[in-house]
C-alpha cells in the first residue's frame, strides 16, 4: 500500500486539477464570455470551488497528514508536507457554505462593477459590495479565531493569504517609512523634471498594430508563445498553469505606452509561473511563494528592465517599425516620457515613485474596513481625504477614478494591495543583486539580451517555489531580507541622478 505521503501527493494533485478547471473558467469569464453567461458561470465556478474545499478539508486529509508526519524523514518531503498542512489549515477554518457564498457574491459584484464603474455608480455598486464585505469580515474573523493568537487582528489573517511570511507589523513599519520619505521625494523629482523636455506621446495608434507590438515585446522578454497567449480584458492580468500562460492587456488608440507597461508587467508574472519547479508540480510546494514575490517579478520586468534606458533604446527600433507614427520620438525622448512623474488618480497608470502612496491609501482603508473600524458607506469620504493628503488630488464625487477603479475589492481580495509595494521593494533589491552579478547589464540589455536576467531569476527565485519562506528566498538571493533602502536608492538614481 502507498505511504501516507504518496497518498497525499495523489490527493493534492487531484485538487490541482480542479484548480486548473477553475482557472480557465475564470479566464474565459473575464476575456471571452458574453455577459449573458455570467450567472450560470458563477454557479459552475462556485460548485467547483466548494467541491475542492470539501475534498481538501475532509477527515481523510487530516488523518493522512498526521500519518505522514510520523513517517517522513526526507527534508524536501518534510517541507512539502508542511506546505500541504498550511493549505489544509487555511481551508479548515471556513465552512463550505461560506466558501460558496463568497464565490457567488464576488462573481456578481465583479460582473456588475464593470458597468457601474463606467457609469460612476457608487450607490449601485454598494448593493452587491455590502455582501462581499460582510462575507470577507466573516472569513477574516474565522481565520483569526482559528489561528489562536497568531494574528493580532482579523485583517492580519487575510493579509497572510497574500503576503505569507511578511507580517502586518513589518508591512506597517515599511509603509510608515515610505509615507515619511516619499512625499518629499515626489516633490524633488517633479521639480527636477520641470527642466526636462518630455514629448506628448498621444496620437493615433491602430489597435491591431499595438497588438503586434505587445506580442513582440513579450518575445523580447522571453515569453514562449507555444506555451501561452496574449488577449484583451478590461483589467490586465496573468493566469494559467505550466505550459499554458494567459496574459491580458488593454489598449487605447491614443496611447501605446500604457499597454506596453501592462504587458511587460504581466510577462514577469508569467515568467515566474513558467519557471516554478517541475518536480513539485501540482503540489503546494510547487506554488509561487507569495504575492509579494510574484509582484517583485512583474515589477522587475516592467520597471527594472522595460523602463531602463538600455532596453528602451533597444526596443525603440521595434516600436518605430510597428508603429511608424512613433518614429518622431527617439529613444531618449521615449524614456523621458515613460519615466515622467506626476501624481495621478489611477493606480495602474501611476509612475513608480507615486505608486506606493496609492497602495498605502488602500491598505489603510481596507484594514479598517475588515477590522470593523470603517463603514462601507464612508469609503468615498476617506478615499478623498487620503488622496488629497498623499497626492494632492480631489476625488469627491468621482468614484470612477476613485474608490471604484480597482477590481480587487469586488471579489473580496482584501489584503492583496500591500503585495504591490512590498513587491516593488523586492524588485529593486533583487535587481541590485543582478547588477552586482552582471556589471555589464546595461550593455547586454542594450543588445536585447534578457536571458541572463531570466536565468538568474530562475535559479534564485523561480526554482524555489514554496520550498523556502519568502524572506529566506530574498536573503539567499540578495544577501539580506527586504530592505526599503534599495527601492529609495533606485528612485534617486533613476529620477534624480539619471544613471539608468
Spatial CB neighbours of 172, under 8 Å, sequence gap ≥ 6: none
Task: Tell me the pLDDT tens digit for each residue of 222-245.
Answer: 999 999 999 999 889 999 999 999
Distance CA 71, CA 244 (A): 36
Tell me, rounded to whole angstroms, the distance of Cα 7 from its chain centroid. Answer: 33
- Angle CA 469–152–485, to nearest 5: 50
The per-residue pLDDT for 357 is 98
The per-residue pLDDT for 17 is 97
Spatial CB neighbours of 189, under 8 Å, sequence gap ≥ 6: 341, 353, 491, 495, 496
Q: Are the C-beta atoms of residues 85 and 72 closer than 8 Å to each other?
A: no
Q: Taking Cα atoms as reference points, which of 400, 367, 402, 383 lies closest to residue 133?
A: 367
Distance CA 434, CA 151 (A): 35
C-alpha cell at 291: 504575492
Phi and psi (nearest 5°) for 339?
-110, 20
Q: Are the C-beta atoms of residues 446 and 311 closer than 8 Å to each other?
A: yes
Q: What is the torsional sign of CA 124, 127, 131, 137?
A: positive
186: how many CB neighbours lie within 10 A of its CB?
23
Unique residue bearing C-alpha cell 455570467: 38
Tell me, rounded to whole angstroms, the distance of Cα 394 from its chain centroid. Answer: 26
C-alpha cell at 324: 511608424
> Is 9 buried (19+), middle (13-18) or exposed (0-12) by CB count in 10 A?
buried
Range 152-500 has CATH code 1.10.1370.30: yes
Distance CA 468, CA 473 (A): 6
Spatial CB neighbours of 174, under 8 Å, sequence gap ≥ 6: 421, 422, 425, 482, 484
Task: Tell me the pLDDT tens digit for each residue of 8-25.
Answer: 999 999 999 999 999 999
The per-residue pLDDT for 391 is 95
State the DSSP string of 162-195.
HSTTS-HHHHHHHHHHHHHHHHHHHHHHHHHHTT
Q: Are the C-beta atoms of residues 458 and 477 closer than 8 Å to each other?
A: no
Q: Are the C-beta atoms of residues 223 and 451 closer than 8 Å to each other?
A: no
Distance CA 319, CA 386 (A): 38
The per-residue pLDDT for 166 is 84
Q: Are the C-beta atoms of residues 361 and 179 closer than 8 Å to each other?
A: no
Unique residue bearing C-alpha cell 486529509: 61
| pTM, to two decimals | 0.94
Distance CA 95, CA 101 (A): 10
Three-state SS string across 463-491, please? HHCCCCCHHHHHHHHHCCCCCHHHHHHHH
Instruction: Indicate the angle between helix axes 291-299 and 257-274, nearest 10 degrees.
Output: 130
Regions of the chain where pLDDT drops below 50: none
Phi and psi (nearest 5°) for 438?
-125, 80
- Indicate the helix (H) or strand (E) that contains 279: none
Phi and psi (nearest 5°) for 393?
-125, 130
Amino acid at each position: 500500500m502507498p505511504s501516507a505521503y504518496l497518498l497525499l501527493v495523489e490527493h493534492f494533485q487531484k485538487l490541482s486539477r480542479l484548480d486548473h478547471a477553475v482557472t480557465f473558467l475564470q479566464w474565459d469569464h473575464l476575456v471571452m464570455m458574453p455577459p449573458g453567461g455570467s450567472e450560470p458561470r458563477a454557479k459552475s465556478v462556485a460548485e467547483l470551488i466548494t467541491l475542492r474545499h470539501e475534498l481538501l478539508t475532509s477527515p481523510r486529509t487530516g488523518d493522512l497528514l498526521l500519518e505522514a508526519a510520523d513517517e517522513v524523514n526526507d527534508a524536501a518531503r518534510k517541507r512539502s508536507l508542511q506546505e500541504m498542512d498550511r493549505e489544509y489549515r487555511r481551508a479548515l477554518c471556513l465552512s463550505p457554505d461560506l466558501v460558496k457564498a463568497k464565490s457567488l457574491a464576488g462573481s456578481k459584484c465583479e460582473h456588475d462593477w464593470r458597468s457601474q464603474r463606467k457609469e460612476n455608480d457608487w450607490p449601485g455598486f454598494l448593493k452587491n459590495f455590502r455582501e462581499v464585505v460582510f462575507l470577507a469580515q466573516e472569513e477574516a474573523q474565522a481565520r483569526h479565531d482559528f489561528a489562536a493568537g497568531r494574528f493580532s487582528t482579523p485583517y492580519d489573517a487575510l493579509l497572510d493569504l497574500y503576503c505569507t511570511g511578511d507580517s502586518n507589523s513589518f508591512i506597517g513599519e515599511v509603509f510608515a517609512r515610505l509615507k515619511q520619505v516619499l512625499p518629499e521625494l515626489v516633490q524633488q523629482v517633479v521639480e527636477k523634471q520641470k527642466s526636462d523636455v518630455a514629448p506628448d506621446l498621444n496620437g493615433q495608434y491602430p489597435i491591431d498594430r499595438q497588438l503586434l507590438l505587445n506580442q513582440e515585446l513579450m518575445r523580447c522578454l522571453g515569453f514562449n508563445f507555444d506555451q501561452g497567449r496574449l488577449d484583451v480584458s478590461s483589467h490586465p492580468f496573468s493566469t494559467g498553469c505550466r505550459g499554458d500562460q494567459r496574459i491580458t492587456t488593454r489598449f487605447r488608440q491614443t496611447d501605446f505606452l500604457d499597454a506596453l507597461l501592462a504587458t511587460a508587467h504581466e510577462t514577469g508574472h508569467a515568467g515566474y509561473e513558467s519557471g516554478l519547479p517541475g518536480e513539485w508540480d501540482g503540489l503546494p510546494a510547487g506554488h509561487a511563494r507569495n504575492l509579494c514575490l510574484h509582484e517583485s517579478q512583474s515589477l522587475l520586468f516592467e520597471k527594472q528592465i522595460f523602463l531602463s534606458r538600455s532596453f528602451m533604446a533597444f526596443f525603440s527600433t521595434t516600436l518605430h517599425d510597428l508603429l511608424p507614427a512613433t518614429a518622431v520620438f527617439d529613444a531618449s525622448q521615449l524614456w523621458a516620457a515613460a519615466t515622467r512623474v506626476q501624481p495621478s488618480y489611477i493606480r495602474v497608470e501611476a509612475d513608480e515613485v507615486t505608486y506606493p502612496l496609492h497602495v498605502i491609501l488602500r491598505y489603510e482603508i481596507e484594514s479598517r474596513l475588515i477590522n470593523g473600524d470603517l463603514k462601507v458607506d464612508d469609503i468615498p469620504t476617506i478615499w478623498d481625504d487620503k488622496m488629497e493628503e498623499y497626492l494632492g488630488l480631489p476625488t469627491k464625487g468621482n468614484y470612477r477614478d476613485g474608490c471604484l477603479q480597482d477590481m480587487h475589492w469586488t471579489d473580496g481580495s482584501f489584503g492583496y494591495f500591500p503585495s504591490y509595494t512590498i513587491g516593488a521593494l523586492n524588485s529593486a533589491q533583487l535587481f541590485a543583486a543582478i547588477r552586482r552579478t552582471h556589471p555589464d547589464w546595461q550593455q547586454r540589455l542594450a543588445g536585447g539580451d534578457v536571458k541572463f536576467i531570466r536565468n538568474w531569476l530562475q535559479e534564485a527565485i523561480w526554482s524555489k517555489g514554496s520550498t523556502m519562506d519568502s524572506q529566506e528566498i530574498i536573503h539567499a538571493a540578495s544577501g539580506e531580507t527586504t530592505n526599503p533602502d534599495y527601492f529609495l536608492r533606485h528612485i534617486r538614481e533613476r529620477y534624480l541622478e539619471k544613471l539608468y
